Structure 1
Amino acid sequence: MANKNGSLHIFFLPFMTHGHMIPCVDMAKLFAAKGVRTTIITTPLNAPIISKAIEKTKNHQIKEIQIQSIKFPNTIDTGLPEGCEHSDSLPSPDSFLDLIIAAKLLQEPFEQLLLHQRPNCVIADWFFPWATDSAAKFGIPRLDFHGISFFSLCAYKIMRLYEPYKNVSSDSESFVIPNFPGEIKMKRLQVGEFVMKDDVSYCNFWKELKVSDGEGKVYGEVVNSFYELEKDYADHYNNELGRKSWPIGPLSLCNKDKEEKTCRGKEACIDEHECLKWLDTKKGNSVVYVCFGSLMNLPDSQLGEIAMGLEASGQEFIWVVGKRKEDKEEWVPQGFEKRMEGKGLIIRGWAPQVLILEHQAIGAFVTHCGWNSTLEAVTAGVPMITFPMSGEQFYNEKLVTEVLKIGVPVGVEKWGKLSADSNVKWDAIEKAVKMVLKGKEAKEMRNKAKLLANMARRAVEEGGSSDSNLNALIQELGSLSR
């Protein structure tokens, strides 16, 4: 379809955190590969991150993707430190809401771009509810990009409609999610304060989302998933909950070679060749990969339990711990790193996750169940050990462990704000690792995961479900602009 859609122009507006920017850039590349003129709108300090990812694209059929910068509000208006335009530069995780609020001040310069360039469509992150009204001012359809699964989209909608957590007598009592495919049980502890109580700090933000989301103001949604993975929930979302959506993922599969996969997000703090060379020395399906995403924070006490669990399991591992304030061993048992030399690779910072997951030596992934990580594991055919913390991660855990049956939970019970709010003991981690790698169900989980990986790749191939959905969406947007 390349070149047929050159007159169609789409603005992409990603939120300023890696978990939102990475899939949005991948999506822009997908549209561009179909010949659509694409412009990514961001702030000056985020532009180089996006530019680097685009420069490594090897598909010469893709027209140049434009990056348009709009000035981020100054510190007087936002209360954020100078140069704080990304979640990485926030003073603390508690400042995340400040970043969302500050982003509202991008509305005026964004509308100036709409006025002068008049794109045919705006695809904006759901953290920008104001983009709906901005697009409407110029008669431009706005598509939402949530960056989460159909399962979670349905669950969020139902929780806010029916409030089933109010029908139990305690936080630890289970309830069944009503009007939802399958008998999925949750606990009030796992739902999240911002859903249950309209947490005061997020109250205005949720009100804006409800207004933007309601009354048909949003034209539809693009979803980073593929139909075969969660068809019951995709159908439920569209047919029962009355949404209009297009699953066009897995978006990460638009990156074809090592260089493209390495340059998503931040620069890796370990050379990918060194990392892959280390994995090349290991047996197939023998290494545990441990990573909790770009935003999540774990206390030192929990990191210590994870270290003891990994050591007790006897398995080799790659563990992305992020950058520690102190480069000492206080967060792990004494002598742990020395004992694990050759057996465990600890990465302090950013890692080339897609490349690691795709390596044949990886047999399990200990994950926080963020959707990007979850879908990347599905795409690589790797079973998961689920360790949810925040956001929609407890829903993703249910999808992985109870619906897809390609993972086991470590037993996290309580939702927290960008952090684990419960202390999982080392023996639970050891048990989960052994179940996924050596237990009687391990082979069955691995086979299911490999089957889903094959489905994922077929979905994005020409004529596959996601490729067909993308073509249909482009055709529909083109017809709206005639």
Structure 2
Amino acid sequence: MSNEVRSLHVFFIPFLAHGHIIPTIDMAKLFAGKGLKTTIITTPLNVPFISKAIGKAESESNDNNVIHIETIEFPYAEAGLPKGCENTNSITSMHLYPAFFKALGLLQHPFEQLLLQQHPNCVVADVMFPWATNSSAKFGVPSLVYDGTSFFSICANECTRLYEPYKNVSSDSEPFVIPNLPGEITMTRMQVSPHVMSNKESPAVTKLLEEVKESELKSYGMVVNSFYELEKVYADHLRNNLGRKAWHVGPMFLFNRVKEEKAHRGMDASINDEHECLKWLDTKEPNSVVYVCFGTTTKLTDSQLEDIAIGLEASGQQFIWVVRKSEKDGVDQWLPDGFEERIEGKGLIIRGWAPQVLILEHEAIGAFVTHCGWNSILEGVVAGVPMVTWPIAYEQFFNEKLVAEILKIGVPVGAKKWAAGVGDTVKWEAVEKAVKRIMIGEEAEEMRNKAKGFSQLARQSVEEGGSSYSDLDALIAELGSLSYSNE
């Protein structure tokens, strides 16, 4: 890297949710690893989480590669939030979200003060901070948007928004083809965000999404946590047909090559729990265990959890299942009678958080039941593990199409309805069928082989000369030339 590039300073501003903060830290590590000065902008109560995540990288870096943190006070009182409500994990009720997003909007002025004081050369802002593009432009700073999902999902969402194909069907369950999207992809109204289709559902959310789109179009470009070989058709479509400047720099978490960094991505895993689940996996045959996890924000109903338990047991497959800690005196009311006794040695339930990357990379894991959040899908792809797709909401139904229909490394469980937080109801028979299909027989073996192939391509993409390595270099060089021309 030239001296003019090494002198660049980049601001990163992640949305205040762990699923957004973690990849932003990964991205900051990538830029810092190239010698750039990197600063993460956040609020006080999110600092310990971020500091721990970047601590290992700092201890192994010279001064030039240290990731800095700048804090902005969170205006919880002004927004009408309880004290301490500074990220989505601390939101105890859905009715607090409007106030939370109001607070995020109030961060704009102090952010501009930081821009004025530090004069960074670039701002990389989460898509959920649409005001960051205008703020950056005010100070002559190029801004990049980070969307946190796949090329395919970005393209599918944009084509759905532009052409409104959901208006051409007569019922919520009637399929429609997404226009101007390669692959003849069909969806139903039930699988599309209600905020995209109507502003009656929540005018405030619809307004925010409109601001997000306007911000994205005004920005200098997009940074995508994916790699070209995984979805080249859609990377090209975004750039050439939809007219976006976009760089693929993923899978970004592959920067975390040290075991401790992989283990502590996101939360404090109990050392005992971590040791227990990995030691338990060590006793299992290769490709013999199903890993089940629905991310940090999904709150499945007790009846749905019971159906998952019955389905897993009926499948006859060994499994590790991550569930949220019970909020009712630590007792899991949904557990079928005698379930834990019957699955002893065959199934392991982890309550709380698990070291997902380490689990997925273990040779005993044969499949991954996932909610189709992009971070989880990318971790599954890198591990070379086929997936049972169980989308809940947001862009997850688009991601399911990519995994199951385009890449052909997944089996849909049959979730049909967008339902934020709780998900669609899926019966135990469907769980049993999908798990058996992903684990047993020729089709399962074929999907596993394809998944292993994508894993190899993912790892090659971040090595010197790889597609993501080269695109990151190209992005940094372009930022360097912009900075030089503005001097």
TM-score (norm 1): 0.97
Paired residue secondary structure (2:152) = helix
Task: Answer yes or no: is the 8 Å Cα contact 2:393–2:419 preserved in 1.
Answer: yes
Shift in Å, 1:129: 0.1
Residue 429 of structure 2: aligned partner: 427
Matched, 1:68 2:80: no
Residue 111 of structure 1: aligned partner: 112
Question: Separation in 1 of the partners of 2:94 and 2:310?
Answer: 27
Q: Which amino acid counterpart does residue 363 of structure 1 have in structure 2? A: G
Paired residue secondary structure (2:107) = helix
Residue 8 of structure 2: aligned partner: 8
Residue 33 of structure 1: aligned partner: 33
Greater Cα shift, 334-343 or 239-248 = 334-343
Question: Separation in 2 of the partners of 1:142 and 1:82?
Answer: 31
Greater Cα shift, 328-337 or 304-313 = 328-337
Residue 90 of structure 1: aligned partner: 91
Matching residue within 381, 387, 390 for 2:390: 387
Matches within 5 A, 1:176-325: 176-198=177-199, 199=201, 200-214=203-217, 217-269=218-270, 271-325=273-327
Greater Cα shift, 111-120 or 435-444 = 435-444
Question: Separation in 1 of the partners of 2:204 and 2:416?
Answer: 23
Question: Separation in 1 of the partners of 2:79 and 2:341?
Answer: 45
Residues 168-193 of structure 1, C-alpha deviations (whole Å, 9 max, x = no match): 01000011111001111111110120
Question: Separation in 2 of the partners of 1:97 and 1:466?
Answer: 37
Residue 467 of structure 2: aligned partner: 465
Shift in Å, 1:97: 4.0
Paired residue secondary structure (1:347) = strand
Task: Answer yes or no: is the 8 Å Cα contact 1:3–1:35 preserved in 2.
Answer: no
Q: Which amino acid counterpart does residue 260 of structure 2 have in structure 1? A: E
Paired residue secondary structure (1:441) = helix
* Structure 2 portions without partners, runs of 5+: none
Paired residue secondary structure (2:418) = coil
Paired residue secondary structure (2:69) = strand
| Displaced runs of 4 or more, over 4 A | none
Paired residue secondary structure (1:45) = helix
Question: Separation in 1 of the partners of 2:26 and 2:155?
Answer: 24
* Structure 1 portions without partners, runs of 5+: none
Question: Separation in 2 of the partners of 1:477 and 1:213?
Answer: 18
Matching residue within 397, 400, 405 for 2:400: 397
Question: Separation in 2 of the partners of 1:261 and 1:453?
Answer: 17
Task: Answer yes or no: is the 8 Å Cα contact 2:76–2:103 preserved in 1.
Answer: no
Shift in Å, 1:204: 2.2
Q: Which amino acid counterpart does residue 381 of structure 1 have in structure 2? A: G
Shift in Å, 1:213: 2.8
Question: Separation in 1 of the partners of 2:350 and 2:97?
Answer: 25
Question: Separation in 2 of the partners of 1:369 and 1:268?
Answer: 22
Corresponding pairs, count: 478
Residue 148 of structure 1: aligned partner: 149
What is the Cα-based RMSD across aligned positions, in Å?
1.4
Greater Cα shift, 99-108 or 387-396 = 99-108
Q: Which amino acid counterpart does residue 45 of structure 2 have in structure 1? A: L
Residue 79 of structure 1: aligned partner: 80
Shift in Å, 1:203: 2.4
Task: Answer yes or no: is the 8 Å Cα contact 2:145–2:216 preserved in 1.
Answer: no
Question: Separation in 2 of the partners of 1:2 and 1:325?
Answer: 54
Task: Answer yes or no: is the 8 Å Cα contact 1:3–1:34 preserved in 2.
Answer: no
Q: Which amino acid counterpart does residue 29 of structure 2 have in structure 1? A: K
Paired residue secondary structure (1:419) = coil
Question: Separation in 1 of the partners of 2:417 and 2:404?
Answer: 17
